[in-house]
Each structure stands twice: as C-alpha cells, then as structure tokens.
Amino acid sequence: MTVLASPTATVTLGGAAPSLADVVAVARDDARLALDPAALDAMAASRGVIDALAQDPLPHYGVSTGFGALATTFIDRDRRAQLQLSLVRSHAAGTGPEVEREVVRALTLLRLSTLLTGRTGARPVVAQTYAAILNAGITPVVHEYGSLGCSGDLAPLSHVALAAIGEGLVRDAEGTIVPAADALAAAGIAPITLEEKEGLALINGTDGMLGQLVLALADLERLVTTADVTASMSVEALMGTDAPFAADLQALRPHPGIGAAAANMRRLLADSPIVASHRGPDCTRVQDAYSLRCAPQVAGAVRDTLAHARAVAERELAAAVDNPVVTEDGRVESNGSFHGAPVGYVLDFLAIAVADLASMSERRIDRLLDPARNHGLPPFLAHEAGVDSGLMIAQYTAAGIVSDLKRLASPASVDSIPSSAMQEDHVSMGWHAARKLRRAVCGLARVLGIELLAASRGLALRAPLDPSPATAAAAAVVTEAARPGPDRFLAPEVDAAALAVRSGDVLAAVEHRIGPLHHA
C-alpha cells in the first residue's frame, strides 16, 4: 500500500462519532485512518442479520428486492451479486466538472463512518477497503451533477463505490487520472466483490452535502473572525468611533455572536492613535454609518447561524444514515434518514449569512473610496485622482461578487423535482445547496481581501497618525499591495489579499500581535 509522505495525524474511526476537526484533517491534510476493532466486530454482527434474511423466501428491501420504484421486484439469490453491481454501475451517472479532492475525501470518509456504526449490514472488509483507499491517497473522480439530496447523494457516492469495486476513474496520490483497477493494484488493495445490501449501503447517505458543510464551517470560522479585523480597519481608516462596541451596550441585546464580534472589535481598535485623535469633545461626528456601527450585529448574527449549523453537523456526524438499517435488536427497517433536509436547510441558511456579511464589507469598501464620505481621503484612494483610478475597479469587482452571492443565497432546499417514477416524490436538493455555499465562501474571502486592501491603503494615507497595533499587523500582511502610489497591475494584488484572508495569514498576524480573538 502507498504511504503518504509525512501524514499530519492519525484519526481513529468507529468508536465515537468523528469530530468536525477529524473530517477536515482527513479531507484536507491527508491524516491517516485507523479503524476501531470493536466497530469492525459490530459490522460483522449486523452482517449476520443480513445473511439470515438472504435465506428468507420473503422479500426484504435492498437484500432480495430491486430499488426505488422497483422495490417490489423479488430477486433470486443467484442474481443478487449482479443486483448490487448493477446498482453501483447504473447510479454512477454523474456529469459535469470534477468535484474537488477534499470534497471527495470528506464524503468517502463519512460513508466509511456510517459503515462502522454497524447499522448498514455491510461486511468489515468493505470498511477496510474504504479506509485503505483514503490512506493510499486515491481519489475517485466525482462529478458536479447527479445528486438530488434524497435517497442520499446517490451519484457522487456511486462513483466512489465504483472505484472501490475496481471500475471507473480515480486520481492517484500524485493527482494523475488513472483507471481505478490500476490504482488499487498499485496500492495493493483488492477490489470489493459486493454481496447482498452492500451496494445500497455504499450510496445511500447525506455524506456529500455533510462533508461540504463541515469544510465550509472550518472556512467560515476563520473568515467571520477576519471580517471583524477588516471592519475594524475600515472604522479606523474612516475616522470612525469604537464607542458603539462598548460591552455594556452590547449586553442590552444579549446575542452571544454579537457580544463576541463587538469584543473583538474593541480589542482590535484598542490603543489606536487614529481613533484617539478624534475622540474628544471637538469631534462633530454624531454617529457612524450602519456598515461601521452595526458591524458586530451582522457578524454576530453570522456567528450564531454558524453555531446552529455546527450543531446540525455534529448530530449528523453521529448518525447512521442508510435505508434500510439494521437495528440493535436485529430488525431491518426501511426509513427516511437519507433525506437531506436537515443539512440542506443550514447550507442555505449559511449562504444567506455569507451574502450579507460580504454585502456589508462591500459597502465599507465603497465608503473608503468616495471622497464625499471618506473624511479626507483621496478619491478612490488614488495617488493622483484623474490620472490614477486607484481602487475604483476593485470595488466593482467586490460589487460583482456580492451580486453573485445574493443569487447564491436563493435557497435550493425549497425546490423539489420528483424522481424514480414518483416513489421519491420529495427531494432535498441539499447537494446543490452545498455546491453554491462552497462558491459563496470563496466569494466572501475575495470581498474581505478587497476590503483589506482598501482599508490598509486608507490607514497608510492617515499618516502620520498610526493605526492600532492589531490593525497594523493585518495591514502589514499586504504592505506592498496596499501602499499608496501610481496605478499598477491590480489583479495579482487582489488575488494575494484574498489568499491571505482565506489561508488565515491575516488572522494569524493579528493574533500573534494581540493574542487570540473570539472565533466564530
């Protein structure tokens, strides 16, 4: 078996439910997997129930019948291996662009986690093969389209199952597309020969949408805290006040997210010579614009939305999502746990929150560039307004992204297209909600990156007044890109700022200077 170089950690699966951090570690950092022997024993025990039902002349869904609208069709024993194989082959019907490696690794891991609950009736060798595929760095090719988020993420999970039986295409540990059979052979992994119920057990889950929710939560925890940083920088650059962020004022409306965001902004603006310069009685400013004064209210509401989504994700990580399931007392029961509504709703909810957070950031960018509202800064923060355009078009870019985010905020989970001859007559569209949230998270990072550029340049133009130690640390991450001067090729600077935001470099620089902030 191929061993990945310098694995960052080992995650043991099969005892307690995997944590959010476990999923991210395997999906993004190639953490190696170990399987709990007790979980493998539980799988073997539940497999005995399936083997007994296979002998029964009465039909049992998924064991001795067809699927979906064909659930009443009895299948003879000598055809059941072909039934499971045909299920995987026919359901591996995805099309469109290739899904990202980290998403495929996350959904593979989460299907493995459900197998290890012992509620699917699959044999231990199935789980061991999935773990071996992940540890070998093999990534099945999964496509953008094919899931309705009900009866599970059928097509995406089927492409993974197809690879496990040695068919279809994968990317090997070096990222090269090769036939699955070749990749498995090179890694010393024997393809699975499916038995009763196992094909169904491999494709009937919410793992694709859940995996993307977990990855989005990891990104948004960092981005929402970074939004407190860029908002504080804009408050300073626009000669705003920190007075509305006072703890006693926030306590009058005791939402935990708002309190955390305001506390961050107080710390970020502490010891700011710019803020101090206009704090006295001579200041004629009565109150700041909403995009400054209400920053904790919006970022705080996003935090509370994240907390709800995190609770849903943690419950889902502890779930055994399959149909039918093997119960503790040995029954095999059909159920509706594969329906993606619980996950789909929070994916859509997060897309709304992301769009609004980015929208407020874009309003601060626009304010920084407008000489009628930026309190003495040059038009568009340009070196020589008229000859130079400064950051004028960077604001256009942010506005275009925000417009896209508003479209992506339209919920997918309110839609339903019946399928399978009306047997599956209400579906969640959770996979679609996950895909658009993934795009929205990327857009938010880019908008915050543009605010970082604009606010950093605004702070530089306030010299000789200095910013706070915290905001100075953030500005230092993009010092070259943010420095005032004649116009230059801007696109690389916008991309570099977005990367600094998304990678966590901005947040790390701030926390290195002033210590940990409240994270979302």
Output the pTM of the full model. 0.94
User: What's the confidence (pLDDT) of residue 54?
Assistant: 78
Question: Which CATH number among 3.30.420.40, 3.10.20.440, 2.60.120.860, 1.10.275.10 corresponds to the domain 10-205?
Answer: 1.10.275.10
User: What's the confidence (pLDDT) of residue 337?
Assistant: 80
Report d(CA 359, CA 373) in Å as an integer.
18
pLDDT, the chain, mean: 92
Catalytic residues: 61
Read off the amino acid at residue 77.
R
| Percent of the chain clearing pLDDT 90 (strictly above) | 76
Q: Per the structure block, which two tokens stand in for 193?
A: 């020969």
- 10-residue averages of pLDDT along the chain (520 residues): 53 93 97 97 93 78 65 71 89 96 98 95 97 98 88 90 98 97 98 93 93 98 98 97 94 96 98 89 76 97 98 95 87 82 95 98 98 96 93 97 97 76 68 96 98 97 97 94 88 96 98 96
Q: What is the pLDDT of residues 413-471, one digit of tens each?
A: 888 766 665 566 667 778 899 999 999 999 999 999 999 999 999 999 999 999 999 99
Backbone φ and ψ of 122, nearest 5°: -80, 155
Backbone φ and ψ of 420, nearest 5°: 55, 55
Read off the amino acid at residue 396.
Y
Q: How many CB atoms lie within 10 A of CB 322?
A: 27
User: What's the confidence (pLDDT) of residue 284?
Assistant: 63
User: What's the confidence (pLDDT) of residue 272?
Assistant: 96
Report d(CA 412, CA 420) in Å as an integer.
20
Spatial contact of 123 and 44, defined as CB atoms under 8 Å apart: yes
Environment class of 514 (CB within 10 Å of its CB; exposed 0-12, middle 13-18, buried 19+): middle
SS3 category, 138: coil
Give DSSP secondary structure letters for 281-333.
TT-------HHHHTHHHHHHHHHHHHHHHHHHHHHHHT----SSEE-TTS-EE
Q: Domain 212-320+350-420+430-514 belongs to what architecture? A: Up-down Bundle (1.20)
User: What's the confidence (pLDDT) of residue 409?
Assistant: 97
Domain residue spans in the chain?
Answer: 10-205, 212-320+350-420+430-514
Report d(CA 287, CA 147) in Å as an integer.
49
